[in-house]
Amino acid sequence: MSQLEAEVKRAIKCDKLAFLASETEEAQEALQKLSALYGNARTKEADVIIALGGDGLMLQTLHAFMGTGKPIYGMNRGSVGFLMNEYREEDLRERLQSADITTIHPLRMEVVDHAGYSHVARAINEVSLIRQTSQAARLKISVDDRVRLEELICDGCLVATPAGSTAYNLSAHGPILPISASLLALTPISAFRPRRWRGALLPNRAKVDIEVLDSLKRPVSAAADHTEIRNVAKVTVHEDSEVEGLMMFDSDHGWDERILAEMFRY
């Protein structure tokens, strides 16, 4: 935990809790039980936001409260829960008081589509480009305004944060990044040529430009987490260091431990 995160932890109160839940029966049942035990404050007044569901709900909650200074504590009531803590009803305020806080910065995706319109979205996990048809995508990749790959023929590629390195990036055989690493993962998806290229690790201050070659014949979509733009011509990705979100993890099973465990999973 950084000094800033330690200071934030000391300043956070856990008196007023706001609970948000996914629509599943399991999450809604947990919402009723926890609200009865601890109350359910309005999100604007809450000291901590409690997300009840899976990783999808956690991402939605982080997006909704990014930049507000409100920490998010997730409890797993969904099918996937890498970003979530174990669900327990007892001693919740004590768990929150002792929880570790992790600061994350999203990626900013800037897109120009075929029609020349510009779009902006943020991603906590990754920005991904995917072919829209049966034909492979042809991509030109530049880093900090220097061309690094004149042509990547592939199903797509993605830029992942440390937080997202265990998600789509890992499925595409990209590297797992420690949460404190000042790095981004640039990972190809089913690369055909150059066949042996496995991606790159970039400093988190890097700016990645991806130009879609032959974009009318080989259309490509771009997605920042859940926000998708279709028929893109060019995508620029960089870390938005001016915006931050706060996540809370139980001190006995923090994010560093989760990532280490994932690295040694087989």
Same domain, 14 and 134: no
Residue 7 pLDDT: 58
Same domain, 134 and 207: yes
18-27, 39-48, 226-235, 246-255: least confident range: 246-255
Decide if pLDDT at 254 tops 70.
no
Same domain, 94 and 180: no
Rounded mean pLDDT of 53-72?
93
Binding site as annotated, residues: 55-56, 125-126, 155, 163, 166-171
Same domain, 98 and 13: yes
Domain extent for 143: 107-239
Q: What CATH number corresponds to the domain at position 52? A: 3.40.50.10330
**Residue among 126, 116, 105, 119 at smallest CA distance from 55:** 126
Q: What CATH number corresponds to the domain at position 138? A: 2.60.200.30
Same domain, 144 and 175: yes
Spatial distance between the Cα atoms of 238 and 176, rounded to a whole number of angstroms:
19
Q: How far is CA 248 from the centre of its chain?
A: 15
Same domain, 97 and 132: no
Same domain, 66 and 164: no
Same domain, 113 and 205: yes
Give every CB contact of residue 85 below 8 A, 6+ residues apart in sequence: 73, 74, 75, 76, 95, 99, 248, 249, 250, 253
The model carries a pTM of 0.87
Is 55 assigned a catalytic role?
yes
Binding site as annotated, residues for NAD(+): 55-56, 125-126, 155, 163, 166-171
Same domain, 95 and 178: no
Residue 230 pLDDT: 97
Same domain, 136 and 228: yes
Rounded mean pLDDT of 26-51?
96
Instruction: Indicate which residue of 47, 55, 144, 225 is catalytic.
Output: 55
Residue 266 pLDDT: 65
Q: How far is CA 54 from the centre of its chain?
A: 13
Mean pLDDT computed over every residue of the chain: 92
What kind and span of H or E run contains 25?
Answer: helix 25-38
Decide if pLDDT at 261 tops 90.
no
Rounded mean pLDDT of 130-156?
97
Give every CB contact of residue 211 below 8 A, 6+ residues apart in sequence: 139, 140, 141, 142, 233, 234
Same domain, 94 and 114: no
Residue 176 pLDDT: 92
Tell me the residue type at 166.
T
Q: Based on the structure, what is the number of domains in the chain?
A: 2
Same domain, 250 and 235: no
Higher pLDDT, 65 or 265: 65
Model confidence band, residue 139 (pLDDT cutoffs 50, 70, 90): very high
According to DSSP, residue 134 is labeled: S
